[in-house]
Chain A
Amino acid sequence: MLPSLLRRTIGGLAVVAGVITLTFFLLRLAPGDPTERLLGPTATAEQVSAQRHVLGLDRPLPAQYAAWVSRFVRGDWGTSISTGRPVRGMLATAWPATVRLVGISLVLSYLLGIVIGAVQATAGRRVDTTLSVATVTLFAMPGYWLGLMLVMLFTYRARILPSFGSRGFDADFLPPAARLADALRHLALPLATLTLVGLGGTARFVRGAMRDVQHAPFITVARAKGITEGRVTRHHILRNALVPVVTLLGLSLPALFSGAVFIEAIFAWPGVGRVLVEGVQARDYPVVMAATAVSALLVVAGNLLADVLAAVVDPRLREPAA
């Protein structure tokens, strides 16, 4: 287990390095560079070339790349070209907001999804059909559209929940309890959107995986041995069905981050997704590079975690230490 984990970790780091390299050269290949936005359309050619020299954009690409990598590894992530703020600071403030949103939504949608999927796989036909209609509809729903509809219902019609930002304008002046309530009220709509959309897919997957296992010979054997139905469901069906579900968990992380980009755009949630989109639009190289590197690291770490979890759940996947 351990040597294979080490191998996968090294592989994961190689992936991150590849992602960074690809992003770096894709960005430089794109037409337009940050000086245009910085100086405006009236800038003279001399001003543009002077600015490019200041930013180091006139050096050869491999030299720029080497310089960026060595600074990045040492923790110097540069300053944003469009805002002048340190990139690490920008990501440090954006980061917790995204983790809060994505993390809570991941936990909620998997817990609810596993419960609903397990109920469907074991309950009668009518319950199964009703829940199937609900989960397939949720699964088919675009997050940004569901978000808009929730805003229409809860912000415009019922007027009970805020539709943008992560906190109210007066949050700093509120007592702690009220501040927490304010934060939760702001979290409610984006979290509900992201969770509902993720929930449908998970429940469907769990139901399918459990159905697949239900007909396996070892389940018949377990029943024949006189094991109670509840124990068969929990220990024999659910446990085996969890293997593909755990794989899905690792696979769904990048999709969840992608989904969060849309949700953050709808709800003006101050997370990494917004930093990234604004960075791409402004050709803000240091911001895009750092945000991409961080999200790639996270996805690789998530996949690694999913592999470990899968080996815990399914002993057959534990490779002999070689």
Chain B
Amino acid sequence: MTRLAADGRARFGAALLCAAVLAALLAPLITTIAPAVQRDVVATRFLPPLAHDLHGVLHPLGTDRLGRDVWARLAYGARISLGVGSLAVLISTVLGVLVGTVAGTWQGRLGALLLAVTDFALALPRVVLLLLLAALWRPSAALVVVVLGVTGWMSVARLVHGEARLAASRPFAESARALGASRLRLLRHHVLPNALTPAIVGAALGFGNAILLEAGLSFLGVGVQPPAPSWGSMIASGRDTLVNAPWVAAAPGIALVLVVVAATLLGDALHDALDPARSDVRGETGAALSGS
């Protein structure tokens, strides 16, 4: 934990994510107007950033084609992006670690079966599946969470399995088995700790990926439905006004990039802090540098 606090990437990522979460939670307090309010559309549309409309309301990031405040939609949209992303990645990481470590420890028939299921799920074209499911049910945030979670665990499982398989065949695991340790004990004490590093990295990458995919689905019109503000649908609505009002598409995109960068940097820092192989090398220098 001290090692993590000493890492600049961790501090930067955590601060940015905290700011995004706060913005999402406190959205009503930090915005000047509700996200769906449309008044005189002709007079208030396409106002540039920092403009006041004729009602005297400040629009920090300007307005879109319907005169809605871009900053307010961004803040309220953060609730959807962050919520959907974290729930989806929770589902997929738990599933992935479970499948990957079990397949790595029981390398016989069970492992082969789990790997076959993983390969099968990996081979499903994810976007096609999402489109199909969106056509099957009415698109909603809950559907996006479940679909992203259920279609996102395979890469975690593959990465975890690679590490778990190596760990299970290393001398310390073999000697534990020779001493009579059960498979379950092997899994818990020898395979899992070694396999967690790729899982955490996978979760960090998966979180960013889930947020990006949610926005992508909303961008294609099969994710979170309007008028609920979603960063993806905001980008889609700014697509036609790139020339006269570039801020409509630029603002949600920049917000997306910042949040995904923050999650990724935090994941990187976690990776370094948790990697036992490197703790002696970097942890001490990091602690020494920060003077703790």
* Residues of chain B contacted by A299 (CB below 8 angstroms): 122-123, 125
Which residues of chain B are near A22, meaning CB under 8 Å?
Answer: 124
Judge whether B114 is part of the interface by a CB distance below 8 angstroms.
Answer: no
Residue B181 is within 8 A (CB to CB) of chain A in the complex: no
Stretch at the interface among B57-65, B70-78, B131-139: B131-139
Partner of A262, one of B119, B219, B253: B219
User: Which residues of chain B in 106-134 are interfacial with respect to chain A, using CB atoms and an 8 Å cutoff?
Assistant: 116, 119-120, 122-129, 131-133
Q: List chain A residues, Cβ under 8 A from B281.
A: 215
| Contact (Cβ within 8 A) A303 B260 | no
Verify A212–B277 contact, CB threshold 8 A.
Answer: yes
Q: What number of residue pairs across chains A and B have CB atoms under 8 A from each other?
A: 146
B126 touches A255 (CB 8 A): yes
Interchain CB contact (< 8 A) of B132 among A23, A148, A254 = A23
Contact between B125 and A296, CB atoms less than 8 A apart: yes
- Could you say which of A10-18, A46-54, A67-75, A110-118 contacts chain B? A10-18
Q: A168 CA to B227 CA in the complex, in Å?
A: 37
**Inter-chain contact B124/A145, CB cutoff 8 Å:** no
CA distance A18 to B122 in the complex (A): 12
> Are B123's CB and A303's CB within 8 A?
yes
Given A145-B256, A208-B271: A16 in contact with B123 (beta carbons within 8 A)? yes
A299→B116 CA distance, assembly (Å): 14
What's the nearest-Cβ distance from chain B to residue A7, in Å? 10
A6 nearest CB across to chain B (Å): 15
B194 within 8 Å of A (CB atoms): no
Please tell me if B35 contacts chain A, counting CB pairs below 8 Å.
Answer: no
Q: Known interface pairs A144-B235, A262-B219, A280-B132. Does A295 touch B256 (Cβ–Cβ under 8 Å)? A: no
Please, what's the 1-or-0 string for A9-40, where 1 marks a CB less than 8 Å from any CB in chain B?
00110111011001100110111100000000
Q: Does A199 contact B (CB under 8 A)?
A: no
B115: nearest chain-A partner, CB-CB: A11
**Interfacial residues of chain A within 202-221, with CB under 8 A of chain B in the complex:** 204, 208, 211-212, 215
Whether B264 sits at the interface, judged by CB under 8 Å, is yes
Within 8 A of A (CB), among B235-292: 235, 238-239, 242-243, 246, 249-250, 253, 256-261, 264-265, 271, 275, 277-278, 281
Residue A95 at the B interface, CB < 8 A?
A: no
- Give 6 closest A-B pairs by Cβ, nearest first: A140-B260, A145-B253, A258-B127, A140-B261, A152-B242, A30-B136
A residues near B, CB below 8 A?
Answer: 11-12, 14-16, 18-19, 22-23, 26-27, 29-32, 136-137, 139-142, 144-145, 148-149, 151-152, 156, 201, 204, 208, 211-212, 215, 244, 247, 251, 254-255, 257-258, 261-262, 265, 273, 276-277, 280-281, 283, 288, 291-292, 295-296, 299-300, 303
Given contacts A215-B281, A254-B126, A280-B135, 15 further A-B contacts (CB under 8 A): A11-B116, A22-B124, A23-B132, A26-B129, A26-B136, A31-B135, A32-B135, A139-B264, A141-B260, A142-B216, A212-B275, A280-B131, A295-B125, A295-B128, A296-B124
